[in-house]
Amino acid sequence: MKIYFASDHAGFEMKNALKEYVAGLEYGVEDCGAYELDPDDDYTLFVKRAAEAVSKDPENVKAIVLGGSGQGEDMVADKFPGVRSAEYYGGNLEIVRLSREHNDANVLSLGARFISLEEAKEAVKIWLETPFGNEERHVRRISEIEN
């Protein structure tokens, strides 16, 4: 499984730390930008690259995108066919698990200004390790989303 990463300036440092963390969990890692800290960057371009990769191969590719709140990144990712992005910016981690178990989320959007690196690592680990439940009702609902 390959995990694509993308962030704007607000998520830049956390993205770089999470790339190392995820590589240490023995996943392939690809960085879609930002490649340098630039307060005027446009997250849309970086998230587009990651979401396109997931859209082309949703069975074998996932993405983790980061921004200040994660909201814009989440919105961009969800514009691509086959992409189901879930957002986490703190609070109960059950929402992260349910995004995989019930919705087969293949993009995780993190609000870097609202969570610590340790919280982000915990969310990422849960998200990567939780399989889709594959219950008929969830399969049906995902199909309805796609249509």
| 52, 101, 102, 119: the active-site residue | 102
**Encoded tokens for 40:** 């005027």
Return the H-helix or E-strand segment holding 6.
strand 2-7
Burial of 75 (0-12, 13-18, 19+ CB in 10 A): middle
DSSP 37: -
- 102 classed as catalytic: yes
DSSP 120: H
Are 139 and 33 in contact by the 8 Å Cβ rule? The answer is no
**Placement of tokens 């399969």 in the chain:** 139
Length of the chain: 147
- 138 classed as catalytic: no
Which of the residues are catalytic? 73, 102
